[in-house]
Structure 1
Amino acid sequence: MSAPNKDLSYMVLQYLNEEGYSATARLFERESGCYFYMEYFEYAVMNGQWEAAEKYLSSFTKFDDNQFSLKVYFDMRKQHFLETLDSGDRAKALDILMKDLKVFAIYDDHLFNEMTQLLTITNIRENEKLAFYKDAFTQRGRMMTEIKTLIKRNPAFKGKLKYPSMEGQRLKNLVNQMVQPDAFSSS
């Protein structure tokens, strides 16, 4: 994206946020790819809105783009799987395992087999590696800390994590300047 187009995109994004069009702003971020709004992504993850979080993330990187992206997608899907297992919904957990996590088996078949074995135990904390597992919210916080680091290191997010500083209502001011009649012109 050229510098003038990028500047204009940021002005449009700023306008949408200032005017309270947050859903439209998130859609614009996804479509333009100019800015990854970490706070929105974190909110979705911390509230277990897995589909929304992954949909937003997928506009910036695909799971197989690089090792950082792979790890972020895997961690989110694994957390969703563990939470579902912890809630006792084995059928849904199996569905998540087969639809969302199976794709990662080509990278680590042993880990996929370990997750499959979790379906056979009543309490996931009985598993030695999950003895530390407290509750969903605590685990999401731990995971989000790691995910933030992965995203910051991910080349797919280069130049997309820092919002440029601009004066407030920049786009609105420019438009107003263009449409207001010149006070010094004579009729």
Structure 2
Amino acid sequence: MLSVFLGTDTKKALVAVNAAAQKLKVAVVRASDASSVEDVRAALAGGGMFSEKRVVVLDRISDNRETWQIVIDALPLLAKQTDMYFMYEEKADAATKKLLQKYADTVEIFDAPKSAKPRPTVFALVDYMRVGDKKKLWVGYQQELAIGNAPEAIHGTLFWGVKQALLAARSVQDVQRSRRLLAELAELPHVSRRKGEELEYALERFILSEV
């Protein structure tokens, strides 16, 4: 089964996605635009006939052209899987909406009112990390979690931000700091899996101790 959530009201959409996923009370697998090709393929592969049913949350995969193509190719097969798929796309164009509607069992739209005052986005966390403002970074991280933004997506944004900071670095100190943060963020998902620690808490520990 494939349920699709679309629209620019990220807060409401993610709350709906997470509520639907948690309601089923089964294991939840998450993949985002920051996930590797291998992780996305594994999420789409299905648990198999004799495996426990899973919920798979696909969070804004279209922001990554490479992994998005994998999802597009898998769409005809998702309805046949025993797993439940919940997909959220924030800025799907008309062609993408039409394609998703073709294969989805349900489609829900969550568009923010045009007059709504924009709130600081997850990209503000990048600025806080760049200047080393640990307090604002931690508060912003908690706010992103509260509105339903997945830790995997937040991790991907921070990883992207550090790469940009490294490219823009002008001093040896800035280069060294960016390289250190980049290496630690790259390893963080793998370390958390080895330790059996959820990425949400591993990322919080990184923010409080390494930034």
Q: Same fold (TM over 0.5)?
A: no
Richer in helix (by share): 1
Richer in strand (by share): 2
TM norm structure 1: 0.25
